[in-house]
């Protein structure tokens, strides 16, 4: 797979979500020819990147494997901001509220200790004094990650794509790739009535992954992610200059919220027992079931009493999930040769370290290895696992 001469490499990237956008940017920076395809356009609302903002945090409850990727990504986020002339990352700090013994709280502390992260453990009284806009129950405390914050997700995707184009990449928006043929020395994309040849293809379909026949051998399930926007009674207390990213853990799930990006509304979401699977991309709902909306309203009222109880806007998005919650990076099983790659399945928490994934894709194509920090994402870990499409 490695090819030290970037001029002989022409990479097709299928999917202009955050992983595809970052891969295009990092490849184009190396002088690699890139053509980026998307059935819609970058930052559309039918995938995983829409909805204004995403969490950036170093002290992750999902596991220690994320920390090196997040650390590597921080420098690249700042690099992209500089190149694009656009602020994308606000390091407001990110806090997690919960009972001290809760598994998620323990996981955050353990990860922080392992990597020597700056994590503040705040007792209830201290947390309420420091962040009076939030509420903590008598048995709860707060873990504060000062390096965490909020990413402008839509602008991040647009900035990465635009920067890739400035560096020579081609964007083919509103262009559907119908099939991919793999050969020993090239790949062939079926685009409408034409056949187009490339040296490599990177499949980065995000939430569309589990519906792609070429990825049928991978254990992927697409789940919907629901976001809501609330109007606070005192907007200044929740704006990007005065508030923080907050996650509240409870027994069967969590509620999280962001500082206001528009000065008028606060984004929040409530996940109870995992996000529901969807059966087809066109089945993505545009509203929430009554019971889910009730949980969301109750959680928001409990954590931030100053928010008006009913959301003023709802957005529903989707992402592909794997059984272990980690993404997939490597050769597509069953494809001839080693030129058909996949980078998907980041299970709802890959946005914060997406620049590092884009860089790993670039290394994989140009150097032949994705790098040690991405080794746990190797597709081969599921090679012996029977694929289940159970929802």
> Is 263 inside a domain boundary?
yes
Residues 6 or more apart whose CB falls under 8 angstroms from that of 256 comprise 55, 245, 246, 247, 248, 268, 269
- 195 and 240 housed in the same domain: no
- 247 and 140 housed in the same domain: yes
Residues 6 or more apart whose CB falls under 8 angstroms from that of 308 comprise 230, 231, 232, 233
- Domain holding 377, by residue range, is 6-49+154-218+323-382
CA dihedral 46, 51, 57, 60 (to 10 degrees): -50
> Is 54 inside a domain boundary?
no
> Is 282 inside a domain boundary?
yes
> Is 76 inside a domain boundary?
no
Rg (CA), the chain: 21
pLDDT digits (tens, 9 = 90+) for 226-255: 999 999 999 999 999 899 999 999 988 999
Number of domains in the chain: 2
- 134 and 236 housed in the same domain: yes
Contact call for residues 234 and 266 (beta carbons, < 8 A): no
How far apart CA 95 and CA 58 sit, in angstroms, is: 11
- Residue 267: beta bridge partners? 229
pLDDT of residue 386: 44
Q: What's the average model confidence in pLDDT over 50-73?
A: 92
pLDDT of residue 66: 94
Q: What's the average model confidence in pLDDT over 22-37?
A: 98
Q: For residue 353, what are its two tokens?
A: 């370290």
How far apart CA 353 and CA 60 sit, in angstroms, is: 11
pLDDT of residue 384: 57
Q: For residue 213, what are its two tokens?
A: 């026949």
Contact call for residues 13 and 171 (beta carbons, < 8 A): no
CA dihedral 40, 44, 47, 51 (to 10 degrees): 180
Residue with tokens 């559309």: 44
- 329 and 200 housed in the same domain: yes
- Residue 377: beta bridge partners? none
> Is 195 inside a domain boundary?
yes
> Is 174 inside a domain boundary?
yes
pLDDT of residue 7: 54
Q: Is the pLDDT of residue 2 over 70?
A: no
Classified as helix, coil or strand, 193 is coil
> Is 74 inside a domain boundary?
no
Residues 6 or more apart whose CB falls under 8 angstroms from that of 237 comprise 132, 133, 243, 306
Contact call for residues 6 and 365 (beta carbons, < 8 A): no
How far apart CA 295 and CA 307 sit, in angstroms, is: 15
Q: Is the pLDDT of residue 389 over 90?
A: no
Q: Is the pLDDT of residue 1 over 90?
A: no
> Is 81 inside a domain boundary?
no
Burial group, residue 291, by CB count within 10 angstroms (0-12, 13-18, 19+): exposed
Q: Of the given ranges (3-7, 197-201, 262-266, 376-380), which has the lowest mean pLDDT?
A: 3-7
Q: Which helix (H) or strand (E) holds 33?
A: strand 33-37
pLDDT digits (tens, 9 = 90+) for 287-310: 899 999 999 999 999 999 999 999
Contact call for residues 160 and 86 (beta carbons, < 8 A): no
Average predicted confidence (pLDDT) for the chain:
93
pLDDT over 70 for what percent of the chain?
96
- 104 and 25 housed in the same domain: no
How far apart CA 58 and CA 148 sit, in angstroms, is: 6
- 236 and 314 housed in the same domain: yes
How far apart CA 29 and CA 18 sit, in angstroms, is: 16
Beta strands in 210-362 (DSSP E): 221-230, 245-250, 253-257, 266-272, 313-321, 328-331, 340-344
Q: What is the CATH number of the domain that holds 334?
A: 3.50.50.60
pLDDT of residue 380: 92
Question: How far are the Cα atoms of 124, 192, 213, 237, 313 from residue 179, in angstroms, in the given order?
Answer: 55, 9, 9, 50, 37
Beta strands in 104-220 (DSSP E): 120-122, 140-145, 149-152, 170-172, 179-182, 187-191, 194-198, 200-203
- 239 and 273 housed in the same domain: yes
Q: What is the CATH number of the domain that holds 266?
A: 3.30.9.10
């Amino acid at each position: 797979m490695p090819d030290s001469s970037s001029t002989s490499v022409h990479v097709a990237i299928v999917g202009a979500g955050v992983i595809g956008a970052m891969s295009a940017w990092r490849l184009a920076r190396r002088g690699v020819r890139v053509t980026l395809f998307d059935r819609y356009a970058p930052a559309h609302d039918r995938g995983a990147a829409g909805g204004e903002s995403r969490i950036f945090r170093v002290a992750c409850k999902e596991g220690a494997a994320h920390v090196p990727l997040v650390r590597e990504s921080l420098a690249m986020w700042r690099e992209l901001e500089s190149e694009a002339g656009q602020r994308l990352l606000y390091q407001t700090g990110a806090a997690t509220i919960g009972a001290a013994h809760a598994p998620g709280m323990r996981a955050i502390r353990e990860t922080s200790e392992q990597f020597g992260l700056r994590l503040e453990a705040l007792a209830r009284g201290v947390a309420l004094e420091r962040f009076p806009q939030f509420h903590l129950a008598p048995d709860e405390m707060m873990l504060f990650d000062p390096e965490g914050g909020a990413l402008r997700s839509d602008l991040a995707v647009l900035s990465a794509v635009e920067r890739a184009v400035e560096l020579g990449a081609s964007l083919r928006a509103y262009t559907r790739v119908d099939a991919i043929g793999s050969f020993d020395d090239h790949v062939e994309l079926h685009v409408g009535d034409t056949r187009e040849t490339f040296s490599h293809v990177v499949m980065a379909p995000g939430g569309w992954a589990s519906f792609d026949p070429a990825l049928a051998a991978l254990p992927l399930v697409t789940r919907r992610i629901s976001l809501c926007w609330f109007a606070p009674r005192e907007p200044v207390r929740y704006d990007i200059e005065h508030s923080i990213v907050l996650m509240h853990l409870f027994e069967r799930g969590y509620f999280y919220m962001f500082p206001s990006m528009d000065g008028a509304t606060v984004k929040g979401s409530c996940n109870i027992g995992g996000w529901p699977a969807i059966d087809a991309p066109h089945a993505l709902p545009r509203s929430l079931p009554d019971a889910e909306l009730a949980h969301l309203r109750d959680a928001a009222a409990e954590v931030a009493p100053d928010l008006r109880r009913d959301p003023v806007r709802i957005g529903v998005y989707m992402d592909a999930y794997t059984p272990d919650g980690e993404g997939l990076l490597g050769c597509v099983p069953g494809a001839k040769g080693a030129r058909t790659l996949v980078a998907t399945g980041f299970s709802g928490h890959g946005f914060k370290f997406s620049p590092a994934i884009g860089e790993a894709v670039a290394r994989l194509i140009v150097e032949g290895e994705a790098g040690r920090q991405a080794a746990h994402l190797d597709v081969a870990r599921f090679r012996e696992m029977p694929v289940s499409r159970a929802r």
